[in-house]
A and B are shown apart, each in its own frame.
Chain A
Amino acid sequence: MLKIIVPIKQVPETGNVKMDPETGTMVRDGVVSIVNPLDLYSIETALMLKEKYGATVTVLTMGPLNAVKGLKEAIAMGCDDGYILSDRAFAGADTWSTAYALVNAIKRIGDYDLILAGERATDGDTGQVGPNIASGLDIPLATYVRKVNDLDLEHKTITVERSVEEGIETLQLPLPCLLTVVKEISYPRLPTLRGKKKAKTVEIPVLTAEDLGLNREFLGLKGSPTRVVSTKSPKVTRNGQMVTIKDDQDVIEAVDALIAFLEERQLI
């Protein structure tokens, strides 16, 4: 049977992100963590393939132990099982180091036909981990996939549509391969009652750096080629010019003022 692995990331819910105006860092206290919203689309894609072709879907995350919550949500949606990579040594990993750990975890999980990653995580926002993993495993990669056209189980190939700025490519990849998917591909389903029951009882194995025999030099903040040296919150408010329309005459004046403004900025 087809084996699909979906790496998912636990991220802070950004709807209520608060920035500390003094330090310019994110206030983490009381911020709820959720499954990266863009990972719901890769989960959904996996579940659609499971329904159509039969498959087992394994979700995988690297993060603090409470990220198990996200794996359970995915299982409640219909995924079969999950693994968490959790170890203090992973803290502060950049994309290279994150991918190094995930690549080795995937090798440990073993046989797989397809890896479906999200387009990007809404916090780190790099979109690099998916391509990193494909490169590290040396399996074919298609990014920005907006549609799976066909999966040929006999010839072990998958045909997909990939979005680029100029249009849409149709690519054929041999299995195993890695796809990163965009939102257009599907609409995520809600958890089911049966799924929720399963999520309650399912065992989620915890994998540590030692379990995977990882090189400590490559882990966490210390093992990351990139380093965040400073952060600041950009100024948002622009104190723009405002006009208010109260009656019909105001409409003409407001549009006059807007046209004058656009002319002044040489935009028209």
Chain B
Amino acid sequence: MSEKNTKVWTIAEAANGKLKSVSYELLARGRSLADACSEQLVSVLIGANVSKAELTTLIQHGADLVISVQDPALEAFIVETYSNVLIDLVQQMKPNIILAAATNNGRTLMPHVAMRLHTGLTADCTDLQIDLTTGDLLQTRPAIGGNILATIKTPNHRPQMATVRPRSTQPLPADPSRTGHILQISLKPELVDKRVKLLSFEAETADESNLQDSDVIVSGGRGMKKADNFQLLHDLASLLGGKVGASRDAVDRGWARYPQQVGLSGKTVLPKLYIALGISGAIQHLAGMKTAETIVAVNTDPNAAIFQVVDFGIVGDAFQVLPELISRLEERKS
């Protein structure tokens, strides 16, 4: 395809006027791709209420240009409108690569856009490289329940688009001396799609919210024996600044709620520390957590499959280990 469509774009996400950390993670990915092919890195923000000072942080984290389309009509994420806006920008400026976050909104917007632009979209990538001879983006992603890593490219269609798994990379440190431009583009009224209405929004305050954003996850399974025992997991999680997750078995028994389920039919998580207590390590559970940076497990069965993926394993009773561990961590705190 055309050699001239050579810009790397990342799609920033914001909530309540604050950019989400994944916006900076995408810039770290985009920077290395843009540098590899000596291109400009552009960060696109579609939304409302994000200040110029906040947008400048995108430049500090690697963007050369920030394109900002902000309007009160973009305050709610209505996919039809966001898709119209992004497609309009793409058609005018012809980027070569677009990276978005594999968040619920990113995973909704990007396939909507890909269908209409008639181009390829690779889901939930954990690695991105560029083939310098062809300019093809080599997009690597886990599939089949994490059993394989597939490398995918989009050879004949542009832009090449990928969603990138949040927390799969670190943002670059902010560099206040970096310079760049902010281009404010006003929303064309004809791009607003009024069919869908956001009636209300309720912020999730419960403990299980943002399991995927948490650095530490303490998960329990059937070996926790009953709902009350999950309190021990909450105690440990709060000492470690983490959240409580669960196996499907524990969710099915009502000891934890579905948003807490880790695995093939639940969440895929990538924390710095994952602690599994009374979880056997079924392949469907491993699918959701085996790429965690550090994995610790406690299980009475020395042959439990979970021990194959641990960095530290204790063969023993969770009800002996947990109280001891909790009291030791409390001691350290005080």
Contact = CB atoms under 8 A, between A and B. Distances in A.
A148 interface: no
Contact of B150 (A228, A238, A251): A228
B273 A267 contact: yes
B203 A166 contact: yes
Interface string B95-131: 0000000011101101111111011111110000000
Given A123-B143, A134-B112, A243 B157 contact: no
A193 interface: no
Contact of B195 (A132, A174, A230, A243): A174
Contacts of B197: 171-172
A164 B196 contact: no
Interface in B137-168: 138, 142-157
B75 interface: no
A125 B143 contact: yes
A226 B122 contact: yes
A267 B217 CA distance: 12
Contacts of A127: 107, 111, 123
A254 B308 contact: no
Given A265-B294, A268-B329, A183 B265 contact: yes
A190 interface: no
Contacts of A142: 196
Given A166-B204, A172-B197, A96 B152 contact: no
A94 B121 CA distance: 9
A131 B316 contact: no
Contacts of A141: 79-80, 108, 112, 196
B325 A255 contact: yes
Interface string B284-300: 10110011001110000
Contact of B314 (A19, A26, A163, A254): A254
Contacts of B209: 165-167
Nearest to B333: A268
A238 B108 contact: no
Interface in A245-262: 245, 248, 250-252, 254-255, 257-259, 261-262
* Binding site secondary structure of chain B: mixed
Interface string A117-142: 00000111111111110111000111
Contacts of B119: 96, 225
A245 B315 contact: yes
Nearest to A265: B294
Residue of A95, A127, A226, A252 ringed by the most chain B CB atoms within 10 A? A226
A173 B121 contact: no
B36 interface: no
Interface string B317-334: 100110011001100100
Residue of B111, B114, B154 ringed by the most chain A CB atoms within 10 A? B111
Given A126-B123, A229-B153, A245-B321, A24 B148 contact: yes
A131 B79 contact: yes
Contacts of B80: 140-141
A258 B296 contact: yes
B132 interface: no
B315 A226 contact: no
Residue of A170, A238, A265 ringed by the most chain B CB atoms within 10 A? A238
Interface of A: 12, 14-15, 17, 19, 24-26, 37-38, 94-96, 99, 122-132, 134-136, 140-144, 159, 162-174, 177, 182-184, 224-234, 236-238, 240-245, 248, 250-252, 254-255, 257-259, 261-262, 265, 267-268
- Listed from nearest, the 6 A-B pairs whose CB atoms lie closest are A245-B316, A225-B120, A126-B123, A226-B120, A135-B115, A128-B111
Interface of B: 15, 76-77, 79-80, 83, 103-105, 107-108, 110-116, 118-124, 138, 142-157, 195-204, 209-210, 212-213, 216, 240, 258-259, 261, 264-266, 272-273, 283-284, 286-287, 290-291, 294-296, 302, 307-317, 320-321, 324-325, 328-329, 332
24 contacts: A96-B114, A96-B121, A99-B115, A122-B265, A125-B145, A131-B111, A132-B112, A132-B114, A141-B108, A164-B105, A165-B212, A169-B76, A169-B200, A228-B152, A230-B150, A233-B147, A233-B148, A240-B310, A241-B312, A241-B313, A243-B316, A245-B321, A258-B325, A259-B325
